[in-house]
Amino acid sequence: MTLKVQALCCVLGPLKGARAKGASRLLVNDSWCYFGEHRKMYKATEKIAPPRLLTEEEYRIQGEVETRKALEELREYCNSPDCSAWKTISRIQSPKRFADFVEGSFHLTPNEVSVHEQEYGLGSIIAQDEIDEETSSEEGDSDSWHPTITQNSFLS
């Protein structure tokens, strides 16, 4: 039984007896579920196609697009009358940076960008691959293997 059918029958329950005029029905576990004004009858054996997975490039692009959109929505909210500017400023560490952001400045400092690139950028991926290769070659030479521990600089 598919998830949609299960969810539908959990909400509506297995209805027996009289049904609403024009409602469709669905046989699930020898019980009929009636729903909506749909005239199509769905089989309990119908499978829902799994979602297509994103490539790394599509994932990165989608992340950038959604981040830009969310930042713009945040700016719009901060400029709206619904936002209590003084209350917000009293809670943050850097009011000037917040004001600059609301006026349209970039949300990250150059230092934060460089730290992120060092930590998660393409250079760190290549360096990690080299470390993994060295570790795998050493693994053949020694009986014990100790995993490399990477400390996140944002936490320290």
Please check whether residues 60 and 45 belong to one and the same domain: no
Q: Which of 23, 52, 55, 47 is nearest to 36 (CA)?
A: 23
109 shares a domain with 46? no
Q: What is the pLDDT of residue 1?
A: 45
94 domain residue, yes or no: yes
112 and 75 co-located in one domain: yes
At which residue do the structure tokens 């196609």 appear?
Answer: 49
Per DSSP, the residues of 86-125 read HHHHHHSS-HHHHHHHHTT--SS-HHHHHHHHHHHSHHHH
The one-digit pLDDT tens for each residue of the chain (156 residues) are 444 444 444 444 444 444 444 445 544 545 555 555 554 555 566 778 888 999 999 999 999 999 999 999 999 999 999 998 889 889 999 999 999 999 999 989 999 999 988 888 765 555 556 666 665 655 555 444 444 444 444 444
46 shares its domain with 74: no
Nearest to 92 by CA among 81, 104, 107: 107
pLDDT at residue number 22: 47
Could you give the CA distance from residue 37 to residue 98 in angstroms, rounded to a whole number? 51
For residues 62 and 114, membership in a common domain is answered with yes
| 16: containing domain | 1-50
Question: How many separate domains does the chain show?
Answer: 2
Co-location of 6 and 41 in the same domain = yes
- Both 134 and 72 in one domain: the answer is yes
Do residues 46 and 63 share a domain? no
Residues 45 and 114 placed together within one structural domain of the fold: no
Instruction: Tell me the whole-structure pTM to 2 decimals.
Output: 0.46
Q: Are 36 and 45 in contact (CB under 8 A)?
A: no
**115/79 Cα distance (integer angstroms):** 30
CB 98 within 8 A of CB 89: yes
Short-list 121, 119, 122, 129, CA closest to 153 = 119
Q: Are residues 18 and 63 in the same domain?
A: no
69 and 22, same domain (yes or no): no
- Domain-embedded: residue 31: yes
- Please spell the DSSP secondary structure of 3-57, one letter per residue: HHHHHHHHHH----SS--TT-EEEEETTEEEEESS--PPPPTTPPPPPPPPPPHH
The reply to whether 93 and 125 lie within a common domain is: yes
